[in-house]
Amino acid sequence: MDDLRELYQEMILDHGRTPRNFGRPEGCNREAHGDNPLCGDKIDVYVTLRDGVVEDVGFEGSGCAISTASASIMTEMLKGRTAEEVRKLFAGFRDLVMGKEAVDGGLPPEDKDRLMVLSGVRQFPMRVKCATLAWHTINAALKSPGKIVSTESGELAT
């Protein structure tokens, strides 16, 4: 059960059960839809972007505890950040869940502490895509709004 407890930490279970920022924020001006066709997870991420800064962010969808918690934690972290900061955070998070945090370099310590709760997926390679789906989707929303992304299309293999 140890690996499992590390994967399903209390914070993950909590965010999985009662996700934060669930819903479509009023006045949002960017959105994208993410799919993991292998497991059927679906997510819509909504962003209110003003002057290049994320003013508000929310999501809807259905997925496992890992993908729901990851989306929920993500939305809590992004308000007030620039699109470029979001992109960097995503890159660092991806390194972290793939067990490459030694090379992440760029993650500020407080962000890293926050995201470490999801690092248990390293032991579960099949579940890495669950943890990164929301991040891929917000990345798409910021880059090309209205886009539909899939974990199985080449550009976001993980």
State the residues that interact with another protein by CB under 8 A: 1, 3-5, 7-8, 13, 17, 38-42, 62-66, 68, 124, 127, 130
CB of 65 to another protein, least distance (A): 5
Q: Which is nearer to another protein, 14 or 85 (CB)?
A: 14
CB-wise, 66 or 138, nearer to another protein?
Answer: 66
- Shortest Å distance, C-beta 155 to another protein: 23
Q: Annotate 116-137 with DSSP letters as a single string.
A: GGGGGGGG-GGGHHHHHHHHHH
Q: In what order do the strands lie in the sheet with 53-62?
A: 53-62, 41-50, 30-36, 148-150
User: How far apart are CB 137 and another protein at their closest, in Å?
Assistant: 17
Alpha-carbon span 78 to 111, nearest angstrom: 10
CA atoms within 13 A on the CB side of 135: 28
Tell me how far, at minimum, the Cβ of 62 lies from another protein, in Å. Answer: 6
Q: Where are the beta strands (DSSP E) in the chain?
A: 30-36, 41-50, 53-62, 148-150
- Following CA atoms 64, 65, 67, 69 in sequence, which dihedral angle do they give, to the nearest 10 degrees? 160
Q: Between 8 and 22, whose beta carbon lies closer to another protein?
A: 8
Nearer to another protein, 69 or 78 (CB): 69
